[in-house]
Structure 1
Amino acid sequence: MRRFALILALWPGVLAADGFQKLSGEEILAALTGQKLEYGSGVWQTFDSSMVTQYFSGGPSAGRWVVREDQYCSIWPPSDLWACYDVFRNDHTIRFVDDAGGRTDGTFAQ
């Protein structure tokens, strides 16, 4: 258990070594609001100022997004469960990191 705690404690430093910097709640809002991220293979997501998020991966999907305690959180109906992620940025790339350490990178659309 101690090793796991140590790994989690060092995790932000590992990401920073990649050039990724963790964003605060205000920075998440500033980085995502009104933007479109591309995830590759024609998959993309938008983040409207009305807190609606659109996701396209072979077909459209709409959800809601918020920032809570310096994390990006989203909900995708018909689910009623919010999923929250730490958000990191490296220039034109946004990285979402879930509680298990899973990463999803998106780049700002041109």
Structure 2
Amino acid sequence: MTRLAALLIPTLIAGSALAAETRLSGGEITALLPEITAKTYDTFQTFSEDGSTDYRASGRPSTGRWRVEDNRYCSTWNTGGTPIWTCYEVLRDGDTLIWVDPNGERTVNTIERK
């Protein structure tokens, strides 16, 4: 058992050191989003190449638009008025996406490939 622990502990430490949040560039955001669904326990969001996006929270749908601006993901939602765009930094850590809003608040999603 001691030998096994001696072998596994350095591997686990090295593996955790490799996992790190990386800020995505505009090109990376544009390439990634149409290929995935961003999910939490009760929400999911899809992104189309044409700039449309669908979001469902607790079964309630919302539709909107998305684009990349200054290496940030920006979105607006169909509310019937003048579009208000909000932009987010996008970080990735393996199969996790972290959206950072203008106030620094973070929203964490799991990446699911389409």
TM range (shorter): 0.7 to 0.9
Looking at structure 1, the residues matched to 60 and 39 of structure 2 have their Cα atoms a distance apart, in angstroms, of 15
Stretches of structure 2 that go unaligned for 5 or more consecutive residues are 1-18
Tell me which amino acid in the other structure corresponds to 1:47.
F
SS at the partner of 1:89? strand
SS at the partner of 2:40? strand
Of residues 101, 107, 114, the one that matches 1:98 is 101
Q: TM-score, normalised by structure 1?
A: 0.78
Stretches of structure 1 that go unaligned for 5 or more consecutive residues are 1-17
CA contact (8 A) 1:34 1:49 kept: no
1:24-55 deviation line (CA, Å, top 9, x unaligned): 100111121232111212x1000111111000
| 1:83 counterpart = 2:86 | yes
Q: CA deviation at 1:19?
A: 1.1
Looking at structure 1, the residues matched to 56 and 39 of structure 2 have their Cα atoms a distance apart, in angstroms, of 10
- Larger Rg computed on CA atoms: 2
Looking at structure 1, the residues matched to 40 and 107 of structure 2 have their Cα atoms a distance apart, in angstroms, of 8
SS at the partner of 1:28? helix
Looking at structure 1, the residues matched to 94 and 23 of structure 2 have their Cα atoms a distance apart, in angstroms, of 12
Looking at structure 2, the residues matched to 51 and 39 of structure 1 have their Cα atoms a distance apart, in angstroms, of 22
Aligned pairs for 1:1-110 within 5 A: 19-41=20-42, 43-57=43-57, 58-78=59-79, 79=81, 80-109=83-112
Percent of aligned pairs with the same residue? 38
Tell me which amino acid in the other structure corresponds to 1:94.
L
